[in-house]
Structure 1
Amino acid sequence: MHKEVETYQRQGFGQTLEMKPPFGLLIVDFVNSFADPQQFGGGNIPQAIERTRSLLAHARQQGWPVAHSRIVFADDDADRNIFGMKVPGMVTLKEDLPGSAIVPQLAPANGELVVRKTVPSAFFGTSLAPWLTQHGVQTLLVAGAVTSGCVRASVVDAMSWGFRPLVVSDCVGDRALGPHEANLFDMAQKYAAVMPLDEAMQVVGQR
């Protein structure tokens, strides 16, 4: 990897991204089905969920805007799309089924936004971007699952909408560690700041 890192550095990737307040938190798809290795889970997702409990508690203590996302398809599959064709099991995630519910330890509180989506990004076709703008968010901390899929897609869209993404590396998880690590590296080079929770808390605390 050393030679590859040198290539990125030589080409100007991986610049420092200043973390400007106000801060917000987005928790992507930490739902029961992604916590279950028999469905869509596995890898380091359970540890990421546990770590996110501390992040969410801090966000609430600080009064940050907090948003959550869920994958929810229509009961009659009328909105089945290309994502559902590539991963047919996703279409089984319905509004009232336990698999699509946010895990109990991260259950949304009153005033926290919950967006429902049928594609990887929490921004695409949802009210998330205007809601964050309305709340004045400049830097968006991101937790959730999976790192290589819905987290990455949401981070790219957050950056595209003009938010400064901060991916909290031990609060995101994937069913396989290879894609998790590769995508953390890639997001750090192109789209976001990437750091573990303890470092992130230090950085935002200084702001």
Structure 2
Amino acid sequence: MEDADIFAQQELGKTIRNGVRPALLLVDFVNGFLDPDIFGGGNTLEAAQASVRVLAAFRQRDLPVVFTRIVYAEDGSDTGVWCEKAPRLAELTESNPASHVADILATRPGELVIAKTQPSAFFDTPLAAAVRHRGVDSLVVVGATTSGCVRATVVDAISANFRPTVLSDCVGDRAHGPHEASLFDMHQKYANVIPSADLPQLRPPQASASW
């Protein structure tokens, strides 16, 4: 039996119904995750470049936009077990440009920027409360890395009853294998996974579908 067949037999991989008000969630598209000498490589830069058009579409429609960054204290006082697994994460402090949102996706006033110290954008952050306050019921997720913080965030998003959509060309990983495996896994169990070209917000306004 092929891998996809057993998922279909178990009725996994169904489509999540669209919500009414989406937010764009850009997970850790910071300098360090676009730089192969730090935490980047693979297709992370291409994913960030593909996300520029998506970000512009959300801004044009005045829909909520949220960025996340991994940011640790300068003295390392808030590092945890994750930094034992990946020690260089502790370098992502406020004073280190590697922790700053990449210039091609620069934030604007009024857009939410969430600092986090764990893989999921939801863990021990105000993200859920902040987007619910804005009437958000669905999340369009882009970012890096697919197998790490993106996947962790998507699992927590659906656990909190948000409706997640992952844009397959707008998420990136340092290696192809984990990227593809994570897209398959999220599609089967945790999110709608589509190319950005299929996103309603990128169609002409009169053709836009309800979210």
Same fold (TM over 0.5): yes
**Cα RMSD for the two superposed structures:** 1.3
Amino acid across the alignment from 1:179: P
Look up the match of 2:152: 153
TM-score (norm 2): 0.95
Which segments of structure 1 move beyond 4 Å, counting only runs of 4 or more? none
Q: 1: distance between equivalents of 2:114 and 2:19?
A: 24
Look up the match of 1:173: 172
Give the Å deviation of 1:12.
1.1
Q: 2: distance between equivalents of 1:93 and 1:187?
A: 27
Task: Tell me the secondary structure at the aligned position of residue 42 of structure 1.
Answer: coil
Look up the match of 2:87: 88
Give the Å deviation of 1:80.
1.3
Give the Å deviation of 1:175.
0.3
Look up the match of 1:111: 110
TM-superposition CA deviations, 1:61-95 (whole Å, max 9, x none): 11111100000010110011011110000001001
Map 1:26-65 onto structure 2 (within 5 A): 26-65=25-64
Task: Tell me the secondary structure at the aligned position of residue 131 of structure 1.
Answer: helix
TM-superposition CA deviations, 1:177-206 (whole Å, max 9, x none): 110010001001001000000012368921
Task: Tell me the secondary structure at the aligned position of residue 113 of structure 2.
Answer: strand
Give the Å deviation of 1:7.
0.3
Which 5+ residue runs of structure 1 have no aligned equivalent? none
Q: Work out which of the residue numbers 200, 203, 208 in structure 2 matches 1:205.
A: 208
Look up the match of 1:125: 124
Which 5+ residue runs of structure 2 have no aligned equivalent? none
Q: 2: distance between equivalents of 1:43 and 1:91?
A: 22
Q: 2: distance between equivalents of 1:62 and 1:48?
A: 22
TM-score (norm 1): 0.97
Q: How many residues align?
A: 206
Task: Tell me the secondary structure at the aligned position of residue 199 of structure 2.
Answer: helix
- Percent identity of equivalent pairs: 48
Look up the match of 1:72: 71
TM-superposition CA deviations, 1:82-122 (whole Å, max 9, x none): 11110000001001210100001111111111011111001
Look up the match of 1:138: 137
Q: 1: distance between equivalents of 2:86 and 2:96?
A: 18
